[in-house]
Amino acid sequence: MAHIHLEDGSFTLFWVVIWWAVALVVIGAALFWVRSAKKTDSRVITLAAFCTAAAFAIFQVSIPLFGGVHLNLTPLIGILVGPVIGTFIVLIVNILSAAIGHGGWGLIGANIVINVIEVVVAYSLFRSLKKIFPSAFARGMIATLGGLFCGNLAMIAIILVSGVQGVTQSASQILFGLTLIAGINMGVAIIEAVITGMIVTYIIRMRPDMLESERQ
């Protein structure tokens, strides 16, 4: 997963406001979409509740792998509930995480942008690759890896563009360091891809009506 693991004060106030503004525009668009829809499927609402609980719970656990890593299940959220409802889940999980002291409040905007990118890319790949990868397990894995790869690119871009207060490294050194973090995150993404593939396959076998992409 990609998440900016820095505390409040890392970004200047200007960039905190900018990323919060971007996040609010995305959330506003999602709200507009939901309001303009005739009715939200009750199955999606129920899945959204479970996705929020699962994503929040797993995101707070530091897994003793490669020195300590996190999963966040954003690609699974995208696959199960889509990008619109997924945006709200990402918002809730980031706010609740900051509330318990995991991550800074000022970085919620930037982290929402990163997580929404993961949700949207995973959702798009899972739907668009159906004809190429008929197996839901394989498609779920590819969608997860694609989503998390894009999330890592977004994380690097946001940090490089915003700059971090008090750093001693040059831009190229920071880019190198962040690329290493992205590389390790992609190793963790393999685990997340397997978990996502298994959950998606299980849901499709037991309740294929729960996934919009599998209902035809």
Interface with other proteins: number of residues (CB under 8 A): 64
Amino acid at 87: T
What are the distances in angstroms from CA 141 to CA 44, 173, 193? 21, 32, 4
Cβ count within 10 A of residue 133: 17
Q: Give the residue with the Cβ less far from other proteins, 4 or 117.
A: 4
**Window 174-213: residues binding other proteins (CB under 8 A):** 174, 176-184, 186-190, 193, 210
Does 127 bind other proteins (CB under 8 A)? Our answer is no
Shortest separation between residue 25's beta carbon and other proteins, angstroms: 27
What is the Cα–Cα distance from 114 to 116, expressed in whole angstroms?
Answer: 6
User: Among residues 110, 98, 89, 93, which one has the least CA distance to residue 46?
Assistant: 89
**Closer by beta carbon to other proteins, 21 or else 63:** 63
CB 97 within 8 A of CB 140: no
In the bound state with other proteins, the residue whose beta carbon lies nearer, of 25 and 207, is 207
Burial class, 27, CB count within 10 angstroms (exposed 0-12 / middle 13-18 / buried 19+): middle
- CB of residue 162 vs other proteins: minimum separation in angstroms? 12
- Contact between 138 and other proteins by CB under 8 A: the answer reads yes
The residue whose two tokens read 């397997």 is 194
The answer to the question of residue 62 lying near other proteins (CB under 8 A) is yes
Binding other proteins by CB under 8 A: which of 18, 22, 27, 96? 96
The interface region with other proteins, picked from 29-37, 107-115, 116-124, 129-137 by CB under 8 A, is 129-137
64 sits near other proteins (criterion: CB under 8 A): yes
